[in-house]
Amino acid sequence: MSLKKLLIIRLLFVFGLSFITHNIYDWYPTFFTSIFFPVNESIWEHQKMIFTTILIWGIVEYFILKNKNMNYSNVISSVVLSAILNVIIFLIIYTPIYIIFG
């Protein structure tokens, strides 16, 4: 499998999995799902959703790429860091715009 094909599969899988993890607590409201999946719409809960989605995909991708010679730890750590920081940066940029323009 080429890396371009894997990138497209990753994109579709993460979008689909993000939708599922965003709604799983509404579908199954238990203590276990509240630990790993978002309960409300706060920033912390969205961070939890992003982290859980990337963690699940990272496990799947590890088994797909374990026969290839790649420095996988750098890839996954940069993805997790950039995904979580993007939410915080978006909040910092969006909040003043929302306050000014309503």
DSSP 9-62: HHHHHHHHHHHHHHHHHHHS--HHHHHHS-SSSSHHHHHHHHHHHHHHHHHHHH
| pLDDT over 90 at 89, yes or no | no
Res 27: pLDDT: 93
Give pLDDT tens digits for 24-58. Answer: 999 999 998 888 888 988 878 888 888 888 888 87
Record the pTM. 0.66
Region 3-28: mean pLDDT is 86
3-state secondary structure (DSSP) of residue 64: helix
Cα-based angle 61, 13, 41 (whole degrees, multiple of 5): 115
Res 73: pLDDT: 66
Tally the domains of the chain: 1
- How many residues does this entry show for the chain? 102
Which residues span the domain enclosing 19? 3-101
Mean pLDDT of the chain: 82
